[in-house]
Amino acid sequence: MSTGVETHVETAAQAASPSSQAILRYTRFAILLHWIIAAMILAQIAAGFWIADALQSTEKTMRLAAYEQAQIHKSLGLTILALSVLRLAWRLVNPAPPLPEGMSLLERAGAHASHIGFYVLMIAMPLSGWLMVSHSATFSSVPTVYFGLFEVPHLPLPPVLGAEAKASFGGLSHQAHGWLAISALVLLALHVGAALKHHYVDRDGVLARMTPGVRPRGDAGDVAKVPYREAVGGLRWALALALAVGLGGAAYGISQYAANTTSVDVAVETTSSGPEDAMSGMAQAWGVVETESVISFETENAGDPVVGQFTSWKALIEFDADDLAVSEVVVIVDIPSISTGDLIYDGSLVEPDWFNAAAFPKGTFVAKEFVAGGSDGEYVAKGSLTLRGVEKPFDLPFSLSIDGDRAEMSSQVMIDRSDFGIGVKADPDGMWVPMPVQLKVKVVALRAN
Ligand code: HEM
Ligand code: HEM
């Protein structure tokens, strides 16, 4: 009686025996992954260089196209990472068919080294891209949205690394990303050259065993139907272990990420003070009709119009047109409620370099001085605007019409985002998003008493 393992070992012995001259193929799965990954990597390298170039273009439309392509590049790159890990795990369990006997020691060493090199690159290229977008000053404020479906978290670095080390990590991985791709091109030239030499010069069927539809040349014999993986067994445990470690690691990473984000939110929530405290004790003369009121903004990203609004905010309004001296308004905006209808912009805008919503979840406008404008129903609310933790004097001109117990106010004013440090690192020259941003406010309120 023989065990399963003995059977596999027997098959291996037969397969390796000189009497069986059949050239064994890679498994169908290995062939499929080889060609899918190869095609994707080539597309990625071409797209990557194009994107890097177009992001620097002086033409806004080019920059916008590059910005959109970068999301596809990142999504495809992460797919390559997942497929490559799968392929490597598969490969560890299913060894490659033995190399043809006629190959010299040097050729064998070269073949092994280049294959190992490719496996390293297939993982290191996407990983360096992921690290770059997670930690470089230029890219970390743009979220990675996987084919528009969900946001992929930034790769965390060990907390022992200080902010400075993390920042230099971003720059390093950026450089590594380009150089790894160039190394892949060099290796590819050698790899293709070797494959063609096997096919046309050695005629040993090496190209055929990795390529569906390609017949071995010369007397390489039949391409055996039996995949080599049948010659090994038992190692499936290694695959199960690799998968368990991978999944465990991913779950740990995600839980760490979630824990970090919530703890920052909670800390900020409980320590925030100021305007909200200032509001207590204010009489609420007017109540906002939320369904008819809106705080919106208009800007552009590389020439593409971006219109958004804050969907969650509250205002306490005490206003008497006949007694401006006692009038007072406090508006508190929930920054994370920013919404442009575009997942990518929304994700970017709350990032540290833009509104830094985790550290500064509230934007406030407090006005205690009102002056009547030139014409009827025109006023200016003079006060201070606080965004991203920066407080600046701010005048809000508005027009107001009061009809019985109902008041309607509207205002349009420009805000210079650089005054508040919004996006000054990611886009310091307003090359993507101009510095002046149009703010539009419409408030409908009912007299409360
Ligand atoms: C196998 C997968 C990948 C390949 C072959 C690849 C290749 C490239 C190449 C050749 C460049 C141009 C490099 C330069 O000129 O500096 C590039 C740029 C870029 N890659 Fe990848 N990439 C891959 C995966 C990723 C992933 C997974 C991400 C992020 C999650 C990413 C993000 C980026 C970004 C943001 C740029 C633009 C960099 C710049 O403007 O300088 N890439 N990529
Ligand atoms: C970026 C593109 C490519 C990558 C990353 C890549 C990667 C690899 C790797 C890692 C292996 C080893 C497979 C293993 O033992 O598990 C392999 C084998 C092979 N590749 Fe590629 N490859 C690429 C493109 C190509 C192209 C364009 C050709 C055809 C001209 C080709 C032909 C082959 C052949 C014939 C083998 C089998 C070698 C053998 O039997 O020992 N590859 N490739």
Residue 335 neighbours by CB under 8 Å, 6+ apart:
310, 350, 355, 357, 360, 361, 362, 363
Residue 250 has pLDDT above 70, yes or no: no
Q: Mind listing the domains of the chain with CATH numbers?
A: 4-234 (no CATH), 275-447 (2.40.128.110)
Ligand 1 centre from 75 Cα, in Å? 11
272 or 435, which is more confident? 435
Residue 107 has pLDDT above 70, yes or no: yes
List, for residues 146-179, the tens digit of each pLDDT value: 998 888 999 988 877 777 777 788 888 999 999 9
Any ligand 2 atom below 6 A from CB of 203: no
Residue to mutate, 23, 27, 34, ligand 2, most ligand atoms under 8 Å from C-beta: 34
pTM of this prediction exceeds 0.85: no
For position 243, what pLDDT does the model report? Answer: 59
Q: Find the ligand nearest to 115 CA.
A: 2
Any ligand 2 atom below 6 A from CB of 41: yes
Among the ranges 161-165, 255-259, 404-408, which has the highest mean pLDDT value?
Answer: 404-408
Pairing relationship of beta strands 362-372 and 294-301 according to DSSP bridges: unpaired
Question: CA 254, CA 232: separation in Å to the nearest integer?
Answer: 35
Asked if 37 and 122 count as a contact pair (C-beta separation under 8 A), the reply is yes
Q: Find the ligand nearest to 131 CA.
A: 1
Number of separate helices (H) and strands (E) present in the chain: 9, 13
Ligand 1 centre from 117 Cα, in Å? 19
Residue 229 has pLDDT above 50, yes or no: no
pLDDT, average across residues 5-30: 49
Any ligand 2 atom below 6 A from CB of 206: yes
Q: Find the ligand nearest to 119 CA.
A: 2
Any ligand 2 atom below 6 A from CB of 197: no
Residue to mutate, 191, 198, 229, 232, ligand 2, most ligand atoms under 8 Å from C-beta: 191
